[in-house]
């Protein structure tokens, strides 16, 4: 299973893969994964298959399983990194031994009705298609062997299928205007308003309050936007040839830690990023001729884990960008992002007419230097 999405990974509790057998196949054994149910195997005497269900459901094994149950690229609890973040960790594999399926590529029938949860809904899988057989190299790399048959299944993700409302929102501010543009009200829907928790509530100190539920139901901090994630973009400083932005990501979900989180931003000045101070950064080129999208993610063992809501539930960084004097301006909200994605989910931006605006009295080249110099002229009259 390869995740080719550049900035959307499959996070905890991981992927769930299902399909429907074409005939009366059974799974004798599995390495690197397991089915969630065995099914009715009563017709088998002696050796009992691992799974006899017509529609098996497969999940990854957890880290630390015995070595004889492992397979290459397995046993990560179903967590699969985004391709743009770490291609080596964007793969999950397991091995299945199947019975009653046929013994040649003419008698084997392709499974159908593939489903993928990653970890929730949103993925739609197409039919299995036969492709050229996979070729394997022996350990000494001097001989090639070939699979009897290989097929691929492609699954695509849709945010509209995954959820009715966005899963994050964006707030904006700047040094040239005291106004802070908050996330839109009920940006992520207010259906959880009745069950939210105030930040000063004693409930958040109760034992087990931070334990995730099986259905991943969030426990949100009470806010006007009711989003589990808020991304704040602050235009911090302006220099002669550069300008600086501060980005902060805040978690308002008391039941969710975000490991391997990603933040993708579209802005025309991302074609000239000088330095990113405490996030890792990688430019994304959806169109080779346009370089206006970048992906930010946490540094390993430093801030690649966004903790649950509370004092430590945020990560932040600053970005230094070099100006293009032909296009740079603070007018009409140019300094703010066009689109923002957290973990592959598009965040709701405020309406453009609410963006912090440039004061009418400010010159176009506002604050070309971070400090002003005041010169006093003194006239001395000699009598």
- Rounded distance, CA 162 to CA 345, Å? 10
Q: What is the DSSP string of 33-67?
A: EEES-----TT--SS--SB--SS-EEEEPPTT--G
Domain boundaries, the chain: 16-160, 164-201+218-354
Distance of CA 118 to the CA centre of its chain: 11
Question: Residue 246: beta bridge partners?
Answer: 234, 318
The pLDDT tens digits for 154-206 are 999 999 898 889 999 999 999 999 999 999 999 999 887 778 888 888 777 77
- If we measure between CA atoms, which residue out of 233, 246, 240, 231 comes closest to residue 320? 246
Strand, coil or helix: what is 216? Answer: coil
Tell me which of 12 and 350 has the higher pLDDT: 350
Total Cβ atoms within 10 A of residue 46: 4
Q: 114 to each of 9, 16, 30, 209, 268, how far by Cα in Å?
A: 19, 11, 18, 35, 39
Total Cβ atoms within 10 A of residue 340: 23
Band (pLDDT 50/70/90 cuts) for residue 111 is very high
CATH architecture, domain 164-201+218-354: Sandwich (2.60)
- Rounded distance, CA 44 to CA 81, Å? 39
The pLDDT tens digits for 210-236 are 777 766 788 899 999 999 999 999 999
Q: Which of 40-44, 49-53, 162-166, 294-298 has the lowest mean pLDDT?
A: 162-166
| pTM for this prediction | 0.85
């Amino acid at each position: 299973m390869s995740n080719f999405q550049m900035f959307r990974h499959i996070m905890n509790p991981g992927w769930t893969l299902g399909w429907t057998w074409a005939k009366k196949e059974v799974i004798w054994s599995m390495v690197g994964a397991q089915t969630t149910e065995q099914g009715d195997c009563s017709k088998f005497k002696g050796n009992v298959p691992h799974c006899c269900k017509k529609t098996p459901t497969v999940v990854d094994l957890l880290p630390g399983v015995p070595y004889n149950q492992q397979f290459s690229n397995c046993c990560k609890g179903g967590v699969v990194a985004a391709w743009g973040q770490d291609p080596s960790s964007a793969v999950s594999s397991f091995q299945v031994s199947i019975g009653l399926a046929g013994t040649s590529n003419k008698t084997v029938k392709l499974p159908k009705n593939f489903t993928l949860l990653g970890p929730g809904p949103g993925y739609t899988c197409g039919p299995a298609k036969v492709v050229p057989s996979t070729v394997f190299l022996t350990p000494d790399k001097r001989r090639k062997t070939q699979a009897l048959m290989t097929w691929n299944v492609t699954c695509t993700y849709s945010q509209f299928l995954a959820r009715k409302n966005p899963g994050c929102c964006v707030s904006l501010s700047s040094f040239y205007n005291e106004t802070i543009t908050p996330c839109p009200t009920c940006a992520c829907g207010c259906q959880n308003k009745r069950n939210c928790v105030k930040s000063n509530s004693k409930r958040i100190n109760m034992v087990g309050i931070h334990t995730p539920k099986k259905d991943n139901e969030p426990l949100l901090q009470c806010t006007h936007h009711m989003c589990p994630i808020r991304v704040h973009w602050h235009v911090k400083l302006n220099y002669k040839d550069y300008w600086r932005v501060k980005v902060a990501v805040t978690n308002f979900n008391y039941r969710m830690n975000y490991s391997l989180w990603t933040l993708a931003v579209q802005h025309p000045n991302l074609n000239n990023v000088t330095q990113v101070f405490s996030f890792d950064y990688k430019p994304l080129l959806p169109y080779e001729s346009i370089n206006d999208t970048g992906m930010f993610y946490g540094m390993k063992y430093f801030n690649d884990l966004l903790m649950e809501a509370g004092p430590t539930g945020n990560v932040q960084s600053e970005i230094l960008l070099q100006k293009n004097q032909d296009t740079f301006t603070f007018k009409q909200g140019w300094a703010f992002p066009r689109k923002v994605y957290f973990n592959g989910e598009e965040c709701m931006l405020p309406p453009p007419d609410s963006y912090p605006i440039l004061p009418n009295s400010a010159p176009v080249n506002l604050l070309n230097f971070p400090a002003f110099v005041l010169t006093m002229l003194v006239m001395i009259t000699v009598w």
